[in-house]
A and B are shown apart, each in its own frame.
Chain A
Amino acid sequence: MKNKETSSISGAEAVIRSLLEEGVDLIYGYPGGAIMPIYDELYKYSDSLSHILTRHEQGATHAAQGYARTSGKVGVAMATSGPGATNLVTGIADAQIDSTPMVCITGQVASHLLGSDAFQETDIIGISTPVTKWNYQITKASEIPVIMAKAFYIARSGRPGPVLIDITKDAQFELLDYTYEKCKGVRSYAPIPTLDTAQVEAAAEIINKAQKPMIIWGQGVILGEAEEEFKTFVETSGIPATWTILGLSALPTKHPLNFGMVGMHGNYGPNVLTNQCDVLIAIGMRFDDRVTGNLETYAKQAKVVHIEIDPAEISKNVKADFPVLGNCKESLSQLTVLVKHKAYNQWKQRFTDHMKIEIEEVIKGDTLPTKEGLTMGEVIIGINKYTKGDAVIVSDVGQHQMVACRYAEFVQSKSNVTSGGLGTMGFALPAAIGAKMGAPDREVLAVIGDGGYQMTIQELGTIFQNKTAVKIVVLNNDYLGMVRQWQQLFFDKRYASTEMTNPDFVTIAKGYHIDAQRVTKREELDQAIKTMIASDQPYFLEVCVEKEANVFPMIPTGASVSDIRLK
């Protein structure tokens, strides 16, 4: 028999001890009525578990996401019931579509009040169901250890994702007999499909027959911690490799077999040649519509090998002729043994030729501009000069995001943090806080547009309070630039509600005691970036860029990848 007197603790304390058991040392959140017992325990455990108070619950989720993306660990966010819980939803949806491991804990009204429309009651289980990998409402303290263990297991295993645990206030107060056991499995859930050697052999056979093969890798390589196996596979096979926006940084930007980005604002060659390759090897990616353009004309000539952990992604958008289900770390190791090396010189030359055209038509103008207005591209190139590709770049959503992903250099993995699938404006500032805390020894730069910056600008308070040494670069064109670009190209320049009258961002940053500088001229840019990078404090840099510049290349919505426009 267990000694009830010594092992009996409150549900709230059980939550904290469960977090510690799961190796959590940092959580993001915002207190409120229905979660006060847990915050009271946090106060007692503050030596072993840090809590970062964000300025809005949405910020807590994005910070947890940023933390997860650079550390590879599960991010944790906490909020109270009602509005606290609903404010988490955007971040949860973002984590779901970008497969980010996250556990959210929400307080809930006492169980006897459920369904009574009590103060700050909301059905967060119902609301979060479509955007969580799993969710659960705890009404009895005795459920806490088992459910917390299950939550972390589900969030981090297989294809990762967000889990929400809603805990009624009475369950937080209630006493339980506490013992903790890590979750070893859930009988209805097989996180990693068993690798079928026959599938690997079939894939290897078609790859070895290919004359013009091409790899598109996605975030699965990073989530599967398969960067080394992937690099070995690429080098062993000699196949040109291209990436989706979330796959960026898994292979160094300057690797000789890295040929650039696919998708709507990706590189010219990878998009055009998608429709010329004979074997398309997709690794840990899901053929998002921003990658494929019109599916009716996407890679129809190619045999598709799809290396993927999630069975639901096989033949979802693009038919997989050779699916390889499993963890890509293992699949790629097995595949590497079976593939033959070829030089593919003529085929690679096609990528190089397309790149020459893109340099002339697009990249020169973006990065070595001769016109007066500053370009977003030259800012990113300027950042590369001082970071040497070793920084984490957190980008928001819009033109600056595409430019950052096109031009930022990366030498190591887990360095590109951006909201890919959901396209959440306001993501970058709070995500940068988490990214810095997840990789405290690394330089972390947030590159944000003037629109997205103002969606979560209050997180400057979190940066100031915690002295989080993130570098914030706002590329200000006084427009919601990407929407304006679409209005210019597809809506006859009717700029409906896209022009912004902006505040003095430098004064705002200084109001939070953050060093700040504004650049309006090209000759000031280099020194400003140098000063920012040299700082060991939080730093804000506003760069006023050309107001009506466009991001190219571009695949218009509904067009084929091979109809990518250079202007």
Chain B
Amino acid sequence: MSDFTKYTISIYTENNVGLLNRISAIFLKRHIDFISFSTSQSEIPDVFRFIIVVNMTESGVRKIVQQIEKQIDVIRAFYHTDEETIFQESALYKVKSSSLFEERQIQNMIKDSHANIVTVSPEFFVIEKTGFRDEIEALREALAPHGLLQFVRSGRISISKEKMGISEILNTFNHKIKTK
């Protein structure tokens, strides 16, 4: 069988209700699961950006990106390998406050993993860590024996090394409409 690789799909879209459904339907129709999913405002006002991570063949991801780009409200879609992007995930860990004071190694864990304490209360404290998936997972596993009350990890956020050129696409469109 063909080789499966982790690809980051970046999608620039209009901000329309229902677009999330439309994009996820493309994956659902092909029985493909996301590894991670996130969405936010992009560098351009009123343009949104989806970041989806999937494990697929190159030919599979190329076809799915063509199908995504075909959607009316999608401006452009790209796919990249890990080497072609700068990417991070973020996580929050909630731990009992008593363990922070009673078990000294927790403070070392926080320091060694370059995590930060976000908040401390008499009952619990919250640690934040941004980095690669394996670093976040390593901290989770290290904290688990000390009583991890809650854990949450974000989807991948990613910036491509290559230029996306979305503003140029939008400017070209605006020019065409004006000259019509």
Contact = CB atoms under 8 A, between A and B. Distances in A.
A321 B140 CA distance: 50
B70 to A, nearest CB: 5
B70 A311 contact: yes
Contacts of B16: 136
Interface stretch (A122-130, A170-178, A378-386): A122-130
A311 B66 contact: yes
Contacts of A133: 72
Given A184-B180, A188-B72, A316 B21 contact: no
Nearest to A187: B173
Nearest to A159: B70
Main secondary structure of the interface of A (DSSP, over half): mixed
A312 interface: yes
Given A126-B21, A129-B22, A129-B25, A188 B14 contact: yes
B60 to A, nearest CB: 11
A314 B65 CA distance: 12
B75 A187 contact: yes
A185 B173 contact: yes
B180 A130 contact: no
A114 to B, nearest CB: 11
Interface string A377-411: 00000000000000000000000000000000000
Contacts of B1: none
A216 B177 CA distance: 36
Interface residues of B, number: 26
Contact of B69 (A130, A136, A187, A312): A312
Contacts of A186: 72
A135 interface: yes
Interface in A106-145: 125-126, 129-130, 133-137
A125 B22 CA distance: 10
Contacts of B14: 187-188
B67 interface: yes
B73 interface: yes
Interface string B19-42: 001100100110000000000000
A130 B25 CA distance: 6
Given A184-B177, A312-B67, A154 B17 contact: no
A41 interface: no
Nearest to A311: B66
Interface string A463-480: 000000000000000000
Main secondary structure of the interface of B (DSSP, over half): helix
Contacts of A154: 72
Interface residues of A, number: 22
Contact of A187 (B18, B21, B174): B174
Given A184-B180, A187-B174, A129 B74 contact: no
Given A185-B173, A185-B176, A310 B70 contact: yes
Contacts of B70: 310-312
B76 to A, nearest CB: 8
Most buried by A among B18, B29, B72, B74: B72
Contacts of A189: 72-73
A283 B8 CA distance: 33
Given A184-B177, A187-B170, A312-B66, A137 B25 contact: no
A158 to B, nearest CB: 10
Contacts of B174: 187
Contact of B18 (A129, A311, A316): A129
Most buried by B among A129, A133, A135, A310: A129
Nearest to B173: A187
A137 B13 contact: no
B114 interface: no
A537 B155 CA distance: 64
Interface string A330-369: 0000000000000000000000000000000000000000
B66 to A, nearest CB: 4
Contacts of A311: 66, 69-70
Contacts of A316: 63, 66
B66 A135 contact: no
A316 B67 CA distance: 10
Contact of B13 (A125, A135, A136, A188): A188
Nearest to A191: B72
A449 B173 CA distance: 49
B82 to A, nearest CB: 24
Interface in A450-492: none
Interface in B157-173: 170, 173
A128 to B, nearest CB: 10
Interface string A288-312: 0000000000000000000000111
Contact of B29 (A125, A130, A135, A315): A130
Interface in B67-95: 67, 69-70, 72-75
Contacts of B18: 125-126, 129, 135-137
A189 B12 CA distance: 12
Nearest to A139: B17
Contact of B74 (A125, A135, A188, A310): A188
Contact of A134 (B25, B72, B177): B72
Nearest to A185: B177
A129 B177 contact: no
B16 to A, nearest CB: 8
A503 B56 CA distance: 53
A433 B29 CA distance: 33
Contacts of B75: 187-188
Interface in A311-328: 311-312, 314-316
Given A130-B28, A137-B17, A184-B177, 19 more contacts: A125-B21, A126-B21, A129-B18, A130-B22, A130-B25, A130-B29, A135-B18, A137-B18, A154-B72, A185-B180, A187-B173, A187-B174, A188-B14, A188-B72, A312-B66, A312-B67, A312-B70, A316-B63, A316-B66
10 cross-chain pairs, A with B, having the tightest CB-CB distances, nearest first: A312-B66, A187-B173, A130-B25, A188-B75, A134-B72, A312-B70, A189-B72, A129-B22, A184-B180, A129-B21
16 contacts: A129-B21, A129-B22, A129-B25, A130-B22, A135-B18, A136-B18, A184-B180, A186-B72, A187-B14, A187-B177, A188-B13, A188-B75, A310-B70, A311-B69, A311-B70, A312-B67
Interface of A: 125-126, 129-130, 133-137, 154, 184-189, 310-312, 314-316
